[in-house]
Amino acid sequence: MAAQRIAVIGTGYVGLTTAACFARLGHNVVGADVDEAKVAALSRAEVSLHEPALAEIVAEELRSGRLRFAHGLPGTLSEVDFVFLAVPTPTGNDGAADLTAVSTVLAQLREQISPRCVVVVKSTVPVGTVDRIVASLGRTTVVANPEFLREGHAVEDFLHPQRVVVGSADKHAARKVARLYAGTDAPVLMTSSASAELVKYASNCFLAMKLSYVNTLAELCEELGADISDVAEGMRLDQRVGSSFLTPGPGWGGSCLPKDTKALLSTSAAAEVDFPLLDATIATNARQAHRVTDKIRKAAGGALSGVHVGLLGLTFKAGTDDIRDSPALAVAELLAAEGALLTGYDPCVPTGRQVGAVRVVASPYAVAEGASVLAVLTEWPEFAELDWSRVTSAAPHPVIVDTRGLLPASKVAEAGLTLVSVGRRDRREK
Ligand code: UDX
Protein backbone atom coordinates (compact mmCIF):
# COMPACT_ATOMS: atom_id res chain seq x y z
CA MET A 1 0.00 0.00 0.00
CA ALA A 2 1.37 3.46 -0.89
CA ALA A 3 2.16 5.74 2.02
CA GLN A 4 -1.05 7.10 3.45
CA ARG A 5 -1.62 10.36 5.34
CA ILE A 6 -2.84 9.57 8.85
CA ALA A 7 -3.83 11.77 11.76
CA VAL A 8 -3.94 10.16 15.20
CA ILE A 9 -5.94 12.13 17.78
CA GLY A 10 -4.68 11.45 21.29
CA THR A 11 -1.07 10.57 22.11
CA GLY A 12 -1.39 8.35 25.17
CA TYR A 13 0.15 4.87 25.16
CA VAL A 14 -2.34 3.74 22.48
CA GLY A 15 -2.28 6.88 20.30
CA LEU A 16 1.47 7.46 20.48
CA THR A 17 2.21 3.80 19.76
CA THR A 18 -0.25 3.89 16.84
CA ALA A 19 1.25 7.10 15.39
CA ALA A 20 4.89 5.98 15.78
CA CYS A 21 4.30 2.47 14.45
CA PHE A 22 2.26 3.60 11.44
CA ALA A 23 5.17 5.92 10.59
CA ARG A 24 7.51 2.94 11.04
CA LEU A 25 5.29 1.04 8.57
CA GLY A 26 5.93 3.83 6.03
CA HIS A 27 2.93 6.11 6.41
CA ASN A 28 2.92 9.88 6.96
CA VAL A 29 1.53 10.51 10.40
CA VAL A 30 0.64 13.48 12.56
CA GLY A 31 -0.06 12.81 16.21
CA ALA A 32 -2.34 15.40 17.79
CA ASP A 33 -3.04 16.14 21.44
CA VAL A 34 -4.73 18.83 23.52
CA ASP A 35 -1.78 18.82 25.93
CA GLU A 36 0.56 21.47 24.50
CA ALA A 37 3.44 20.56 26.81
CA LYS A 38 3.16 16.89 25.83
CA VAL A 39 3.17 17.83 22.11
CA ALA A 40 6.27 19.98 22.60
CA ALA A 41 8.06 17.16 24.45
CA LEU A 42 7.08 14.58 21.83
CA SER A 43 8.34 16.89 19.08
CA ARG A 44 11.70 16.73 20.88
CA ALA A 45 11.39 12.92 20.94
CA GLU A 46 10.91 13.03 24.72
CA VAL A 47 8.66 10.07 25.53
CA SER A 48 7.60 9.73 29.18
CA LEU A 49 5.75 6.44 28.66
CA HIS A 50 7.50 3.31 29.94
CA GLU A 51 7.19 1.45 26.63
CA PRO A 52 10.26 -0.42 25.30
CA ALA A 53 11.41 0.81 21.85
CA LEU A 54 8.74 3.54 21.65
CA ALA A 55 11.10 6.45 22.31
CA GLU A 56 13.56 5.15 19.73
CA ILE A 57 10.87 4.75 17.07
CA VAL A 58 9.49 8.23 17.78
CA ALA A 59 12.99 9.71 17.42
CA GLU A 60 13.73 7.82 14.21
CA GLU A 61 10.41 8.64 12.60
CA LEU A 62 10.66 12.32 13.55
CA ARG A 63 14.04 12.32 11.81
CA SER A 64 12.63 10.48 8.78
CA GLY A 65 9.98 13.17 8.46
CA ARG A 66 7.19 10.58 8.48
CA LEU A 67 6.09 11.55 12.00
CA ARG A 68 5.23 14.91 13.51
CA PHE A 69 3.05 16.20 16.34
CA ALA A 70 0.48 18.97 16.53
CA HIS A 71 -1.29 20.74 19.35
CA GLY A 72 -5.08 20.55 18.95
CA LEU A 73 -6.33 19.34 15.59
CA PRO A 74 -3.69 19.47 12.82
CA GLY A 75 -4.18 22.16 10.19
CA THR A 76 -3.71 19.53 7.48
CA LEU A 77 -6.76 17.53 8.57
CA SER A 78 -8.51 18.23 5.25
CA GLU A 79 -5.74 16.39 3.43
CA VAL A 80 -5.45 13.22 5.50
CA ASP A 81 -6.72 9.86 4.30
CA PHE A 82 -7.43 8.50 7.82
CA VAL A 83 -8.20 10.01 11.21
CA PHE A 84 -7.65 7.62 14.15
CA LEU A 85 -9.46 8.44 17.40
CA ALA A 86 -7.25 7.31 20.28
CA VAL A 87 -8.70 9.45 23.06
CA PRO A 88 -9.56 8.19 26.56
CA THR A 89 -12.92 6.52 27.18
CA PRO A 90 -12.77 6.21 31.00
CA THR A 91 -15.38 4.64 33.23
CA GLY A 92 -18.33 6.97 33.73
CA ASN A 93 -20.18 7.23 37.04
CA ASP A 94 -22.67 4.53 36.02
CA GLY A 95 -19.92 2.10 34.93
CA ALA A 96 -20.50 2.82 31.23
CA ALA A 97 -17.68 4.23 29.12
CA ASP A 98 -17.55 8.04 29.15
CA LEU A 99 -17.45 9.17 25.48
CA THR A 100 -17.06 12.89 26.13
CA ALA A 101 -13.61 13.04 24.53
CA VAL A 102 -14.79 11.11 21.45
CA SER A 103 -17.80 13.40 20.98
CA THR A 104 -15.70 16.53 21.45
CA VAL A 105 -13.15 15.50 18.84
CA LEU A 106 -15.81 14.45 16.33
CA ALA A 107 -17.60 17.79 16.68
CA GLN A 108 -14.31 19.56 15.98
CA LEU A 109 -13.17 17.47 13.01
CA ARG A 110 -16.46 16.88 11.18
CA GLU A 111 -16.19 20.10 9.13
CA GLN A 112 -12.45 19.71 8.48
CA ILE A 113 -12.04 16.20 7.08
CA SER A 114 -12.56 15.47 3.39
CA PRO A 115 -15.50 13.38 2.16
CA ARG A 116 -13.23 10.42 1.41
CA CYS A 117 -11.40 10.54 4.74
CA VAL A 118 -11.91 7.39 6.84
CA VAL A 119 -12.64 7.92 10.54
CA VAL A 120 -11.15 5.03 12.53
CA VAL A 121 -12.21 4.44 16.14
CA LYS A 122 -9.18 2.98 17.95
CA SER A 123 -10.47 3.87 21.42
CA THR A 124 -12.42 1.19 23.28
CA VAL A 125 -16.07 2.20 22.85
CA PRO A 126 -19.41 0.59 23.68
CA VAL A 127 -21.01 -1.56 21.02
CA GLY A 128 -23.01 0.62 18.64
CA THR A 129 -20.78 3.68 18.91
CA VAL A 130 -19.51 3.48 15.31
CA ASP A 131 -23.10 3.17 14.03
CA ARG A 132 -23.98 6.31 16.00
CA ILE A 133 -20.95 8.14 14.57
CA VAL A 134 -21.99 7.13 11.02
CA ALA A 135 -25.39 8.67 11.66
CA SER A 136 -24.05 11.84 13.28
CA LEU A 137 -21.36 12.50 10.65
CA GLY A 138 -23.61 11.49 7.79
CA ARG A 139 -20.86 9.36 6.22
CA THR A 140 -20.33 5.62 5.93
CA THR A 141 -16.52 5.80 6.07
CA VAL A 142 -16.30 5.08 9.83
CA VAL A 143 -14.45 1.97 10.98
CA ALA A 144 -13.99 0.23 14.35
CA ASN A 145 -10.36 -0.89 14.80
CA PRO A 146 -9.86 -1.80 18.48
CA GLU A 147 -6.38 -2.00 19.99
CA PHE A 148 -5.01 -5.04 21.79
CA LEU A 149 -1.88 -3.44 23.22
CA ARG A 150 -0.58 -4.67 26.59
CA GLU A 151 1.12 -1.99 28.65
CA GLY A 152 4.85 -2.63 28.58
CA HIS A 153 4.51 -4.47 25.25
CA ALA A 154 2.67 -1.86 23.16
CA VAL A 155 5.18 -1.59 20.30
CA GLU A 156 5.64 -5.36 20.09
CA ASP A 157 1.86 -5.88 20.10
CA PHE A 158 1.32 -3.23 17.41
CA LEU A 159 4.03 -4.42 15.00
CA HIS A 160 3.43 -8.12 15.67
CA PRO A 161 -0.27 -8.30 16.54
CA GLN A 162 -1.97 -11.66 17.02
CA ARG A 163 -4.88 -10.23 15.07
CA VAL A 164 -6.13 -7.07 13.39
CA VAL A 165 -9.87 -6.51 13.80
CA VAL A 166 -11.64 -4.14 11.41
CA GLY A 167 -15.37 -3.48 11.59
CA SER A 168 -17.57 -1.40 9.30
CA ALA A 169 -20.65 -1.61 7.09
CA ASP A 170 -18.54 0.19 4.48
CA LYS A 171 -16.43 -2.72 3.26
CA HIS A 172 -14.29 -0.50 1.02
CA ALA A 173 -13.34 1.71 3.95
CA ALA A 174 -12.71 -1.38 6.09
CA ARG A 175 -10.37 -2.85 3.48
CA LYS A 176 -8.45 0.43 3.29
CA VAL A 177 -7.90 0.34 7.06
CA ALA A 178 -6.84 -3.33 6.94
CA ARG A 179 -4.25 -2.47 4.28
CA LEU A 180 -2.57 0.02 6.63
CA TYR A 181 -1.37 -3.00 8.60
CA ALA A 182 0.09 -4.72 5.53
CA GLY A 183 3.54 -4.38 7.08
CA THR A 184 2.54 -6.58 10.03
CA ASP A 185 2.13 -10.32 9.82
CA ALA A 186 -1.26 -10.72 11.48
CA PRO A 187 -4.52 -12.37 10.44
CA VAL A 188 -7.20 -9.78 9.72
CA LEU A 189 -10.80 -10.20 10.88
CA MET A 190 -13.20 -8.14 8.76
CA THR A 191 -16.59 -7.86 10.42
CA SER A 192 -19.39 -5.50 11.38
CA SER A 193 -18.61 -2.50 13.58
CA ALA A 194 -20.70 -3.97 16.43
CA SER A 195 -18.75 -7.24 16.34
CA ALA A 196 -15.42 -5.41 16.21
CA GLU A 197 -16.39 -3.23 19.16
CA LEU A 198 -17.54 -6.27 21.14
CA VAL A 199 -14.40 -8.37 20.40
CA LYS A 200 -12.34 -5.91 22.45
CA TYR A 201 -14.58 -6.11 25.52
CA ALA A 202 -15.12 -9.83 25.09
CA SER A 203 -11.37 -10.53 25.03
CA ASN A 204 -10.48 -8.35 28.01
CA CYS A 205 -13.38 -9.60 30.11
CA PHE A 206 -12.46 -13.19 29.31
CA LEU A 207 -8.91 -12.51 30.54
CA ALA A 208 -10.29 -10.94 33.71
CA MET A 209 -12.64 -13.91 34.21
CA LYS A 210 -9.73 -16.31 33.77
CA LEU A 211 -7.77 -14.43 36.44
CA SER A 212 -10.65 -14.30 38.91
CA TYR A 213 -11.11 -18.02 38.33
CA VAL A 214 -7.44 -18.79 39.05
CA ASN A 215 -7.40 -16.50 42.08
CA THR A 216 -10.33 -18.40 43.58
CA LEU A 217 -8.69 -21.72 42.68
CA ALA A 218 -5.65 -20.49 44.64
CA GLU A 219 -7.84 -19.87 47.68
CA LEU A 220 -9.28 -23.38 47.33
CA CYS A 221 -5.77 -24.86 47.07
CA GLU A 222 -4.88 -23.28 50.42
CA GLU A 223 -7.84 -24.99 52.05
CA LEU A 224 -7.29 -28.34 50.33
CA GLY A 225 -3.53 -28.52 50.65
CA ALA A 226 -3.06 -28.43 46.87
CA ASP A 227 -0.50 -26.23 45.10
CA ILE A 228 -1.83 -23.64 42.63
CA SER A 229 1.41 -23.55 40.64
CA ASP A 230 1.11 -27.27 39.94
CA VAL A 231 -2.62 -27.02 39.29
CA ALA A 232 -2.03 -24.14 36.83
CA GLU A 233 0.77 -26.11 35.19
CA GLY A 234 -1.58 -29.05 34.79
CA MET A 235 -4.17 -26.76 33.22
CA ARG A 236 -1.61 -25.20 30.85
CA LEU A 237 -0.88 -28.62 29.39
CA ASP A 238 -4.39 -28.51 27.93
CA GLN A 239 -3.98 -26.28 24.87
CA ARG A 240 -7.67 -25.39 25.03
CA VAL A 241 -7.07 -23.68 28.38
CA GLY A 242 -4.07 -21.74 27.09
CA SER A 243 -0.83 -21.06 28.91
CA SER A 244 -1.22 -17.45 30.03
CA PHE A 245 -3.26 -15.59 32.63
CA LEU A 246 -3.12 -18.50 35.07
CA THR A 247 -0.82 -16.91 37.67
CA PRO A 248 -2.60 -15.85 40.87
CA GLY A 249 -2.03 -12.37 42.20
CA PRO A 250 -3.51 -9.65 44.41
CA GLY A 251 -6.17 -9.15 41.73
CA TRP A 252 -6.13 -7.69 38.26
CA GLY A 253 -5.82 -3.96 37.59
CA GLY A 254 -4.54 -1.42 35.12
CA SER A 255 -6.22 1.06 32.82
CA CYS A 256 -8.14 -1.52 30.80
CA LEU A 257 -9.47 -4.62 32.53
CA PRO A 258 -11.26 -2.78 35.36
CA LYS A 259 -12.70 -0.24 32.88
CA ASP A 260 -13.72 -2.80 30.27
CA THR A 261 -15.36 -5.23 32.70
CA LYS A 262 -17.51 -2.44 34.14
CA ALA A 263 -18.35 -1.15 30.65
CA LEU A 264 -19.41 -4.55 29.34
CA LEU A 265 -21.55 -5.13 32.43
CA SER A 266 -23.19 -1.77 31.81
CA THR A 267 -23.76 -2.64 28.14
CA SER A 268 -25.28 -6.00 29.13
CA ALA A 269 -27.57 -4.35 31.68
CA ALA A 270 -28.73 -1.84 29.05
CA ALA A 271 -29.45 -4.76 26.73
CA GLU A 272 -31.30 -6.48 29.60
CA VAL A 273 -28.95 -9.45 29.40
CA ASP A 274 -27.90 -10.90 32.75
CA PHE A 275 -24.17 -11.59 32.88
CA PRO A 276 -23.59 -13.37 36.22
CA LEU A 277 -20.15 -14.64 35.16
CA LEU A 278 -19.01 -11.04 34.65
CA ASP A 279 -20.66 -9.91 37.89
CA ALA A 280 -18.78 -12.65 39.73
CA THR A 281 -15.51 -11.82 37.93
CA ILE A 282 -15.65 -8.24 39.19
CA ALA A 283 -16.83 -9.20 42.69
CA THR A 284 -14.08 -11.83 43.00
CA ASN A 285 -11.49 -9.24 42.07
CA ALA A 286 -12.75 -6.74 44.63
CA ARG A 287 -12.62 -9.50 47.27
CA GLN A 288 -9.02 -10.35 46.34
CA ALA A 289 -7.69 -7.14 47.91
CA HIS A 290 -9.49 -8.03 51.17
CA ARG A 291 -8.08 -11.58 51.06
CA VAL A 292 -4.55 -10.24 50.70
CA THR A 293 -5.14 -7.77 53.53
CA ASP A 294 -6.37 -10.63 55.73
CA LYS A 295 -3.16 -12.55 54.98
CA ILE A 296 -0.99 -9.56 55.88
CA ARG A 297 -2.96 -8.88 59.07
CA LYS A 298 -2.59 -12.52 60.11
CA ALA A 299 1.15 -12.40 59.32
CA ALA A 300 1.37 -9.32 61.56
CA GLY A 301 -0.14 -11.24 64.46
CA GLY A 302 -3.80 -10.31 64.01
CA ALA A 303 -3.82 -6.53 64.04
CA LEU A 304 -2.46 -3.78 61.79
CA SER A 305 -2.88 -0.60 63.82
CA GLY A 306 0.52 1.03 64.18
CA VAL A 307 2.19 -1.89 62.41
CA HIS A 308 4.86 -1.07 59.79
CA VAL A 309 4.15 -2.98 56.58
CA GLY A 310 6.67 -2.87 53.71
CA LEU A 311 5.26 -3.18 50.19
CA LEU A 312 7.36 -4.56 47.33
CA GLY A 313 5.75 -3.35 44.09
CA LEU A 314 3.21 -0.56 43.58
CA THR A 315 2.47 -0.67 39.83
CA PHE A 316 -0.46 -2.72 38.53
CA LYS A 317 1.93 -5.23 36.95
CA ALA A 318 5.64 -5.61 36.27
CA GLY A 319 7.13 -3.92 33.19
CA THR A 320 5.12 -0.71 33.49
CA ASP A 321 5.20 2.49 35.53
CA ASP A 322 1.41 2.66 35.57
CA ILE A 323 -0.22 2.73 39.01
CA ARG A 324 -3.74 3.33 37.66
CA ASP A 325 -6.17 0.90 39.29
CA SER A 326 -3.20 -0.96 40.77
CA PRO A 327 -4.18 -3.89 43.01
CA ALA A 328 -1.09 -3.06 45.08
CA LEU A 329 -2.57 0.33 45.93
CA ALA A 330 -5.99 -1.18 46.60
CA VAL A 331 -4.33 -3.40 49.22
CA ALA A 332 -2.38 -0.39 50.57
CA GLU A 333 -5.63 1.52 51.07
CA LEU A 334 -7.17 -1.33 53.05
CA LEU A 335 -4.02 -1.70 55.18
CA ALA A 336 -3.93 2.04 55.88
CA ALA A 337 -7.62 2.00 56.81
CA GLU A 338 -6.66 -0.36 59.65
CA GLY A 339 -3.86 1.90 60.80
CA ALA A 340 -0.88 0.21 59.18
CA LEU A 341 2.18 2.39 58.53
CA LEU A 342 3.26 1.79 54.93
CA THR A 343 6.52 2.10 53.05
CA GLY A 344 6.85 0.87 49.50
CA TYR A 345 9.39 0.38 46.73
CA ASP A 346 8.83 -0.06 43.03
CA PRO A 347 11.57 0.11 40.36
CA CYS A 348 9.27 2.26 38.21
CA VAL A 349 7.86 4.61 40.83
CA PRO A 350 9.96 7.66 41.75
CA THR A 351 11.18 7.58 45.37
CA GLY A 352 10.88 10.27 48.03
CA ARG A 353 7.19 10.78 47.44
CA GLN A 354 3.89 9.71 48.94
CA VAL A 355 1.60 7.53 46.81
CA GLY A 356 -1.66 7.48 48.75
CA ALA A 357 -0.79 6.15 52.20
CA VAL A 358 2.52 4.70 50.99
CA ARG A 359 5.84 6.45 51.60
CA VAL A 360 7.96 5.46 48.59
CA VAL A 361 11.56 4.59 49.52
CA ALA A 362 14.64 3.95 47.42
CA SER A 363 15.17 0.20 47.73
CA PRO A 364 13.56 -3.06 48.79
CA TYR A 365 15.96 -3.10 51.75
CA ALA A 366 14.76 0.32 52.88
CA VAL A 367 11.25 -1.13 52.74
CA ALA A 368 12.37 -3.98 55.03
CA GLU A 369 13.86 -1.57 57.60
CA GLY A 370 11.72 -1.92 60.70
CA ALA A 371 8.91 -3.71 58.85
CA SER A 372 6.81 -6.19 60.81
CA VAL A 373 5.56 -7.71 57.55
CA LEU A 374 6.71 -7.47 53.92
CA ALA A 375 4.38 -8.08 50.99
CA VAL A 376 5.26 -8.73 47.35
CA LEU A 377 2.41 -7.14 45.37
CA THR A 378 3.91 -6.69 41.87
CA GLU A 379 5.81 -9.40 40.02
CA TRP A 380 9.03 -7.46 39.36
CA PRO A 381 11.69 -10.12 38.67
CA GLU A 382 14.23 -8.33 40.91
CA PHE A 383 12.14 -9.25 43.95
CA ALA A 384 12.99 -12.89 43.36
CA GLU A 385 16.73 -12.10 43.51
CA LEU A 386 17.00 -10.09 46.73
CA ASP A 387 19.84 -10.56 49.24
CA TRP A 388 17.64 -12.44 51.68
CA SER A 389 20.04 -12.30 54.60
CA ARG A 390 20.05 -8.52 54.20
CA VAL A 391 16.25 -8.51 54.23
CA THR A 392 16.19 -10.67 57.35
CA SER A 393 18.65 -8.44 59.20
CA ALA A 394 16.70 -5.30 58.21
CA ALA A 395 13.26 -6.61 59.19
CA PRO A 396 12.88 -7.24 62.94
CA HIS A 397 9.97 -9.62 62.37
CA PRO A 398 10.90 -11.21 59.01
CA VAL A 399 7.64 -12.44 57.53
CA ILE A 400 6.98 -11.97 53.81
CA VAL A 401 3.61 -12.41 52.07
CA ASP A 402 4.18 -13.33 48.45
CA THR A 403 0.94 -12.58 46.57
CA ARG A 404 2.53 -13.36 43.21
CA GLY A 405 4.15 -16.74 43.84
CA LEU A 406 7.43 -15.13 42.83
CA LEU A 407 9.88 -15.89 45.66
CA PRO A 408 12.31 -18.84 45.88
CA ALA A 409 10.85 -20.58 48.95
CA SER A 410 14.00 -22.47 49.92
CA LYS A 411 16.32 -19.42 49.75
CA VAL A 412 13.83 -17.33 51.72
CA ALA A 413 13.53 -20.02 54.39
CA GLU A 414 17.32 -20.50 54.55
CA ALA A 415 17.68 -16.78 55.30
CA GLY A 416 15.34 -17.13 58.26
CA LEU A 417 12.36 -15.40 56.63
CA THR A 418 8.88 -16.85 57.13
CA LEU A 419 7.15 -17.07 53.76
CA VAL A 420 3.37 -16.76 53.48
CA SER A 421 2.37 -17.73 49.97
CA VAL A 422 -0.82 -17.75 47.93
CA GLY A 423 -2.37 -20.90 46.57
CA ARG A 424 -0.57 -23.40 48.73
CA ARG A 425 -0.84 -24.32 52.38
CA ASP A 426 2.15 -22.90 54.24
CA ARG A 427 4.22 -25.44 56.13
CA ARG A 428 3.72 -23.55 59.38
CA GLU A 429 -0.07 -23.56 59.00
CA LYS A 430 -1.71 -26.69 60.39
C1 UDX B 1 -4.83 -5.62 28.91
C2 UDX B 1 -4.98 -6.66 27.81
O3 UDX B 1 -4.08 -7.73 28.05
C4 UDX B 1 -4.64 -6.01 26.46
O5 UDX B 1 -4.82 -6.93 25.42
C6 UDX B 1 -5.57 -4.81 26.25
O7 UDX B 1 -5.32 -4.18 25.02
C8 UDX B 1 -5.38 -3.82 27.39
O9 UDX B 1 -5.63 -4.45 28.64
P10 UDX B 1 -2.88 -4.53 30.29
O11 UDX B 1 -3.96 -3.67 30.89
O12 UDX B 1 -1.60 -3.89 29.89
O13 UDX B 1 -3.47 -5.26 28.96
O14 UDX B 1 -2.56 -5.61 31.40
P15 UDX B 1 -2.40 -7.20 31.37
O16 UDX B 1 -1.04 -7.56 30.94
O17 UDX B 1 -3.54 -7.77 30.63
O18 UDX B 1 -2.57 -7.54 32.94
C19 UDX B 1 -3.80 -7.14 33.57
C20 UDX B 1 -3.73 -7.48 35.05
O21 UDX B 1 -3.75 -8.90 35.23
C22 UDX B 1 -2.47 -6.99 35.75
O23 UDX B 1 -2.84 -6.45 37.02
C24 UDX B 1 -1.63 -8.26 35.92
O25 UDX B 1 -0.78 -8.22 37.06
C26 UDX B 1 -2.72 -9.30 36.12
N27 UDX B 1 -2.29 -10.65 35.78
C28 UDX B 1 -1.95 -10.93 34.50
C29 UDX B 1 -2.28 -11.65 36.79
O30 UDX B 1 -2.61 -11.39 37.94
N31 UDX B 1 -1.91 -12.91 36.45
C32 UDX B 1 -1.56 -13.24 35.17
O33 UDX B 1 -1.24 -14.41 34.93
C34 UDX B 1 -1.57 -12.21 34.17
H helix runs in 301-341, sequence order: 327-337
**Closest to 309 measured CA to CA, from 241, 371, 369, 253:** 371
Report, in angstroms and rounded to the nearest whole number, the Rg of the chain calculated over CA atoms: 24
Geometric angle at alpha carbon 373, from 371 and 379, rounded to 5° = 110
* Residue 427: per-residue pLDDT: 60
The DSSP code for 91 is B
The atom number, within ligand 1, closest to the CA of 379 reads 25
Number of Cβ within 10 Å of residue 239's Cβ equals 7
98 Cα–ligand 1 center, Å: 22
Strands 341-345 and 308-312: parallel
Q: What's the whole-number mean pLDDT along residues 289-312?
A: 97
Whether the CB of 245 sits within 6 Å of ligand 1: yes
208 Cα–ligand 1 center, Å: 8
* Residue 185: per-residue pLDDT: 83
1 Cα–ligand 1 center, Å: 33
| Ligand 1, atom 4, residue with closest C-alpha | 150
State pLDDT tens for residues 123-149.
999 999 999 999 999 999 999 999 999
Residue type, 270: A
Whether the CB of 247 sits within 6 Å of ligand 1: yes
State how far the Cα of 88 lies from the Cα of 35, in Å rounded to an integer: 13
For residue 430, name the pLDDT band (cuts at 50, 70, 90): very low
The atom number, within ligand 1, closest to the CA of 378 reads 25
What is the best residue among 257, 284, 324 to mutate for testing ligand 1's pocket, by most ligand atoms within 8 Å of CB? 257
204 Cα–ligand 1 center, Å: 8
Whether the CB of 193 sits within 6 Å of ligand 1: no
The DSSP code for 144 is E
CA dist 327 → 200, 250, 378 (Å): 22, 6, 9
Residue 421 and residue 428 in contact, taking contact as beta carbons nearer than 8 Å: no
Which residues is 158 bridged to in the sheet? none
CA dist 284 → 252, 257, 259, 423 (Å): 10, 14, 15, 15
What is the best residue among 150, 236, 322 to mutate for testing ligand 1's pocket, by most ligand atoms within 8 Å of CB? 150
Which residues is 83 bridged to in the sheet? 7, 119
Q: Is 256 a catalytic residue?
A: yes
The residue from 117, 221, 256, 348 that is catalytic is 256
Residue 317 and residue 381 in contact, taking contact as beta carbons nearer than 8 Å: no
Task: Please check the confidence at residue 428 and state whether its pLDDT lies above 60.
Answer: no
Q: What's the whole-number mean pLDDT along residues 280-287?
A: 98
254 Cα–ligand 1 center, Å: 7
Residue 93 and residue 159 in contact, taking contact as beta carbons nearer than 8 Å: no
255 Cα–ligand 1 center, Å: 9
The atom number, within ligand 1, closest to the CA of 203 reads 5
The atom number, within ligand 1, closest to the CA of 317 reads 25
The atom number, within ligand 1, closest to the CA of 208 reads 21
Residue type, 48: S
Task: Please check the confidence at residue 408 and state whether its pLDDT lies above 50.
Answer: yes
State how far the Cα of 154 lies from the Cα of 79, in Å rounded to an integer: 28
Q: What are residue 263's phi and psi, to 5 degrees? A: -65, -40
Q: What's the whole-number mean pLDDT along residues 182-189?
A: 92
Q: What is the DSSP string of 110-158?
A: TTTS-TTPEEEE-S---TTHHHHHHHHHT-S-EEE----PPTT-HHHHH
For residue 425, name the pLDDT band (cuts at 50, 70, 90): confident
Whether this model's pTM surpasses 0.85: yes
Residue 166 and residue 188 in contact, taking contact as beta carbons nearer than 8 Å: yes
State pLDDT tens for residues 42-57.
999 999 999 999 999 9
H helix runs in 144-248, sequence order: 154-159, 171-180, 193-224, 228-236
State pLDDT tens for residues 320-367.
999 999 999 999 999 999 999 999 999 999 999 999 999 999 999 999
Residue 16 and residue 54 in contact, taking contact as beta carbons nearer than 8 Å: yes
148 Cα–ligand 1 center, Å: 11
| Ligand 1, atom 17, residue with closest C-alpha | 150
Whether the CB of 113 sits within 6 Å of ligand 1: no
